[in-house]
Each structure stands twice: as C-alpha cells, then as structure tokens.
Amino acid sequence: MSFHYNEVDYSRFGTDLLAKDKVILIYREEKIVGFSTLKIFNFQWKGKVVRILFSGDTIVDFRSWGQLALFKGFGTLLANYLQDTTPLYWLLISKGFRTYLILPTFFYKFVPSPGKVNKELIDLRDSIGRYMWQEKYDDDTGIYYARKDRLKEEFASIPEKYKNNKYVNFFLKANPTYYLGDELVCVAPITTQNLKLTGKKFVKL
C-alpha cells in the first residue's frame, strides 16, 4: 500500500483490516504481491434483506499487473457465495481506473456505468453509501469523499493504451478527483445471469 499510495496511515489501515471478514492474498513465489480485503454483511433495502460483499483496500504490485490471480481468487469466493439464495450485490469503491475495470470484465450490469442509468441499482448504492459514510458520501455524484490513501502520480496517470477506453473515460468523468483519494462507489448484482463469460470462467460456472 505505502509503495503505491501516498499518506497511508498504518493505524487506520489496521483498523480497516480488522473490520473485514476475509483477505485475498496474491503471491509470487513466497512473497505477497497483492491483496484485497472483503466484508460480507446483511443490509435492509426496500423492506427486504440483501447481502453485500464489500471490497475494501485492493492493490496489486505494479510488477505483477496482468496476472490473473486476483480474478481467480475473487471468482472462487463468488462461487461459494452464489450457493446462498439471498440476493447478493458487490460493493466496490474505486479511486483508480484499474479497479473500476474489474466491473466490465466480470459483469453485464453495474452502476455507475456508461449508457442507460439503472435507477434501482443507483438507489441501492446511495442507500449503502449514506449508511456507511454519512456526510462523506454524495448522492449526486456517487462519490465517497475519503481524501486518504492517494495513488502516487506514476500509478494515477492514464497510460496511452487506455486513452480511448470507454470505461476508463467514464471513470475519469464520474470521479474527476480520484487523484485526491476520492472513491467512486459502485454496485453490481452477483448472479449467474449477470456474469459475463469471463466472469463465469473465473467463478467456474
């Protein structure tokens, strides 16, 4: 984290970690080169209970970008949760375009996204955002104004190969202050119908 982000506070990181239920660890040989922290919780929404799989801190060492270990680990986790019949949604907060790109890789339907607005998913996202971050969450933008753990400039900049990517351009428009550590709050239904072929491959459906 401290190699890729500025202003990482060890105490705050530890507190966030202890609040999570699981951690996906990525290894190269015996060295940890990436991780993603996760929490699963029930949430009351429109008179019913849904489950939320919340992805917290997620980072892969830049020297290991391109490997599929994180996708494989996440897919295995989803396969286990899909055995339950309670509606399940993925809550992802993103202050970097690479994290946001996981959504269109795995799912057909998610918010926010380019194209038609899904009002139902937006309502769920806003309900969760207000519940979790109170005044630091803005319904109008869908942003959690965290202002912490800012990506270092060399990792926040957009490489040339992504300049014409519609999802990257959408992310930059939706979260223009990402470089300050602000998080775009995203939600996707986790169902077999909503998983793309790539997603099904990693979930092994």
- The string of pLDDT tens digits covering residues 120-141 is 999 999 999 999 999 999 999 9
Quick count: other Cβ atoms within 10 Å of Cβ 19?
11
Cα–chain-centroid distance for residue 34?
15
What is d(CA 128, CA 42) in angstroms, rounded to the nearest whole number?
Answer: 11
Burial class of residue 14, CB neighbours in 10 A (0-12, 13-18, 19+) = exposed
Which two structure tokens, joined as six digits, stand for 77?
């986790």
- The string of pLDDT tens digits covering residues 37-56 is 999 999 999 999 999 999 88
Question: Are 8 and 17 in contact, with CB atoms under 8 Å apart?
Answer: no
> Is residue 71 classed as helix, strand or coil in its secondary structure?
helix
What is d(CA 151, CA 94) in angstroms, rounded to the nearest whole number?
Answer: 11
Q: Provide φ and ψ at 187, rounded to 5°.
A: -135, 140
Strands 88-94 and 183-189 turn out to be antiparallel
Poorest-pLDDT segment among 28-37, 114-123, 183-192: 28-37
8-state DSSP, 161 = G
Question: Are 88 and 151 in contact, with CB atoms under 8 Å apart?
Answer: no
pLDDT of residue 205: 59
* All domains of the chain in start order, with CATH: 5-199 (3.40.630)
What is d(CA 151, CA 139) in angstroms, rounded to the nearest whole number?
Answer: 24
Which two structure tokens, joined as six digits, stand for 97?
């375009």
pLDDT of residue 200: 84
pLDDT of residue 80: 79
Question: Are 51 and 81 in contact, with CB atoms under 8 Å apart?
Answer: yes
Average of pLDDT values for 103-130? 94
